[in-house]
Structure 1
């Protein structure tokens, strides 16, 4: 089977060898028909061309015949001047899951269950699990979501995972526990272009300890292709190891889409005496296969609104390796328990004594934590992942992204064969994500090289019903997420992009 052969080649580091007819709708349809995960797309509500033009609430969901209040979906297009019959049936090409994932259909059912429970039994929801509800009792929801997340991050058990707060708050909490500058060991090694929230968190933690970020932040610069090689990272570790208190890097770099060799980097840093190694998995969790426990990672944080699809601003996650989460009885310790120091709170207390209100903190073993309404949305999103495994999702992602790269190369090839020598010598774009499929997730970052091309391409994509991410001044990030994107989506996206570039070139000539 064509699909399976491509996956096997990619997983073994070989060229996928797309055939000569790969740039055709028929070929894309063939791959989509062979996709063993194609049914998962039906688990999501994707924006339609009509819904993308909405100017306000209409009581109708994209593609639905009727809304919650009985309003016809035609109201969407009537108010926006579109063609209801055609456009509301046409799903958008949603290639922006690296920014905000699509909505799982299960979310509405889980939230309705949460609201009905709250309305019906009030505070009793903390202790009640109804047989016909998709939710567990409120006080057990964090642990339930941790259980559902074990495969996503490669934990040894749910005890290593906690769902709480936002990713930035969790990053602060993790650094409060793991960043312990002392004497000459005060530096944090990070990348050249961390997401701003990470940069601010690291900078402020350093200042909180009375240190100067200009002396305590070591930023690893990329090469001219925006790539930070593993060898470069290890060289920086070697140079600063004796002064480093923490290594904190992203699993996948948000701008370039590069996937870091977390296992090798973690092992090298620890071998060089770096006390702790942490990872920001905002663009990795739910995107690539992770084995945090086996890789001996000290801690990690991630959000759930990107590849995990729990909704905008949804509750975040954190991992703490089991060796840091042990709780031992010790009559001489405060409250009678010895454990790694943590910033404590009520839901960090063991469930067996939580409601005793004794003010004698008995910590939950591992990384336990809190929340409720937010966890309903996350639980719904994770229910989709329970229908598959990260290995299967990664396999499809490898094939989808390789196909996207192949078609992008074809567009660049069209330019090279152009009759205009000037056009041929000035390519319209280059891919700055690693070409090696095993060194990236499902994202391809495309750097547009001609002035004004970003605006022209952006307008064409919007007109074609494409939701895609732009990073100014000149990068578009293309993310065909395997849960709800397919090979036909990739083909149609590239057709729109090809026409946009050709039109821009003709207008400029």
Structure 2
């Protein structure tokens, strides 16, 4: 614990006081009012204290001015945007986090809705080019989206069209070279490459720039990314990398609340020119139409230049201001670059503690342990992982059900992570609010749980 406290003194920069941290009492664990050790920002970020005020301000506007708040907010002196433009102040806060121009991002819908919407535009199979490459074990929503996009396009056996790449036998993550080789082998038939920026199960951070650049060597291949576990977690340079499209949710590292509003990126190369007769076909709605003509109700679609032209309906005001309140904290922390620096310190310290555990089983060693855990997440280099570590629990004695017992002990002890059955616990130190002491407590509690086994 001494080293953790020393690190907290050496790197005191944290915005923990700006967040509401659940307590043992609030979670029904005991009558103690001390905060729990929350390491589940990869699943749901903590609530910024400013979010309550931001949402209440919109409820007051609805209560006091109703429909007129669309055009003039009663608290405009405090910087509150009229509902007509409620998402616009979010864009300059969001664009740097994903490495985009402001006109390349939009706040809208939810993650999978945005993915399906973008696939309508960017997955255009032909007789010769129709395959989709993504990772085996991707989040189920992505698989369902790809599968049904194939069916929408009249492909009767989508499973023959979907190429799923997976780790080599005996390995826990996918080699970048294997992805590049698969692209090259299928270059004449691939229509789309769409992987996760950070893999939700293993925590692997894919080399987005290298993979995108390589795929674009073969004309006709579009490249998109599901950034659910990457946005707000790792630095991104979507514009410079030449990514065609991307989408994400905001309730994980972006701390926008459960079911928070999603976002998307469309590279500017796809929205110029953008004349009425030349724009990319899309799922369209009036909120993507020329804002100056929106209320003329014309039967002519003139999309707004950039990603805003992909909006369909006006965004949820409540969800949008919740996202804004969190993004303002990222700006207060001096941006995603500083977030990443602290993130690596926290996660690498966790790796150090885990590997020092008597229950850690190194993948290259053959010693037998009654109960053990390994780290699925690649940790050999900083660029291979984000904040999350995925821990695999097992036993050399053949005993089953090790992970649920450890997970329950963690929970009862106030260490909050999440489980992926049958064997994995995910822990993610979020740099905006987690400390080195949090990391130490979590690993020490894992060791205690293993002792109890």
TM-score interval for Structure 1 and Structure 2 normalised by the shorter chain: over 0.9
SS in 1 for 2:132: strand
Distance in 1 (CA, whole Å) between partners of 2:218 and 2:269 is: 19
Distance in 2 (CA, whole Å) between partners of 1:325 and 1:299 is: 11
Distance in 1 (CA, whole Å) between partners of 2:129 and 2:361 is: 52
- The answer as to 2:267 corresponding to 1:321 is yes
Distance in 1 (CA, whole Å) between partners of 2:383 and 2:409 is: 31
Q: Deviations over 1:108-158 (max 9, x none)?
A: 011011111112221221221433435211121222222210111000x21
SS in 2 for 1:412: coil
- The answer as to 2:243 corresponding to 1:303 is no
Aligned to 2:236: 290
Instruction: Tell me the CA shift for residue 426 of structure 1.
Output: 5.0
Aligned counterpart for 2:389 among listed residues 438, 441, 444: 444
Aligned to 2:303: 363
Cα RMSD for the two superposed structures? 1.8
Distance in 2 (CA, whole Å) between partners of 1:430 and 1:246 is: 34
Instruction: Point out where structure 2 has 5 or more consecutive residues left out of the alignment.
Output: none
Distance in 2 (CA, whole Å) between partners of 1:390 and 1:398 is: 12
- The answer as to 2:185 corresponding to 1:239 is yes
SS in 2 for 1:114: helix
- The answer as to 2:408 corresponding to 1:459 is yes
Distance in 1 (CA, whole Å) between partners of 2:222 and 2:167 is: 23
Aligned to 1:77: none
Contact 1:152-1:289 at 8 Å conserved across structures: yes
Instruction: Tell me the CA shift for residue 376 of structure 1.
Output: 1.6
Instruction: Tell me the CA shift for residue 275 of structure 1.
Output: 2.3
Q: How does 1:51-90 map to 2 (within 5 A)?
A: 51-53=26-28, 82-83=30-31, 87-88=32-33, 90=34
- The answer as to 2:16 corresponding to 1:33 is no
Larger Rg: 1
Distance in 2 (CA, whole Å) between partners of 1:283 and 1:437 is: 16
Contact 1:143-1:158 at 8 Å conserved across structures: no
Aligned counterpart for 1:46 among listed residues 2, 15, 21: 21
Distance 1:415 1:221, change over 3 A: closer
Aligned counterpart for 1:162 among listed residues 81, 106, 120: 106
Instruction: Tell me the CA shift for residue 349 of structure 1.
Output: 1.1
Aligned to 1:101: 45
Instruction: Tell me the CA shift for residue 453 of structure 1.
Output: 1.8
Q: Number of aligned residue pairs: give it.
A: 436
Q: Which moved more, 1:354-363 or 1:394-403?
A: 354-363
- TM-score normalized by structure 2? 0.93
Distance in 2 (CA, whole Å) between partners of 1:476 and 1:152 is: 27
- The answer as to 2:319 corresponding to 1:374 is yes
Contact 1:412-1:427 at 8 Å conserved across structures: no
Contact 2:226-2:246 at 8 Å conserved across structures: yes
Distance in 2 (CA, whole Å) between partners of 1:424 and 1:190 is: 35
SS in 1 for 2:356: helix
Contact 1:250-1:279 at 8 Å conserved across structures: yes
Q: Deviations over 1:266-305 (max 9, x none)?
A: 0000102342100000000000000000000000000001
Distance 1:414 1:481, change over 3 A: closer
Q: Deviations over 1:141-186 (max 9, x none)?
A: 222222210111000x211001111111100000000000001101
Distance in 2 (CA, whole Å) between partners of 1:415 and 1:351 is: 59
Distance in 1 (CA, whole Å) between partners of 2:91 and 2:118 is: 17
SS in 2 for 1:263: helix
Distance in 2 (CA, whole Å) between partners of 1:172 and 1:214 is: 18
Aligned to 1:131: 76
Q: Deviations over 1:449-479 (max 9, x none)?
A: 1233212211211121111111000001111
Aligned to 1:201: 145
Q: Deviations over 1:19-45 (max 9, x none)?
A: xxxxxx12111111222522x111110
Q: How does 1:325-364 map to 2 (within 5 A)?
A: 325-329=271-275, 336-364=276-304
Contact 2:359-2:447 at 8 Å conserved across structures: no
Aligned to 1:469: 418
Instruction: Tell me the CA shift for residue 103 of structure 1.
Output: 0.7
Aligned to 1:250: 196
Aligned counterpart for 1:218 among listed residues 148, 163, 167: 163
Distance 1:503 1:339, change over 3 A: same
- TM-score normalized by structure 1? 0.83
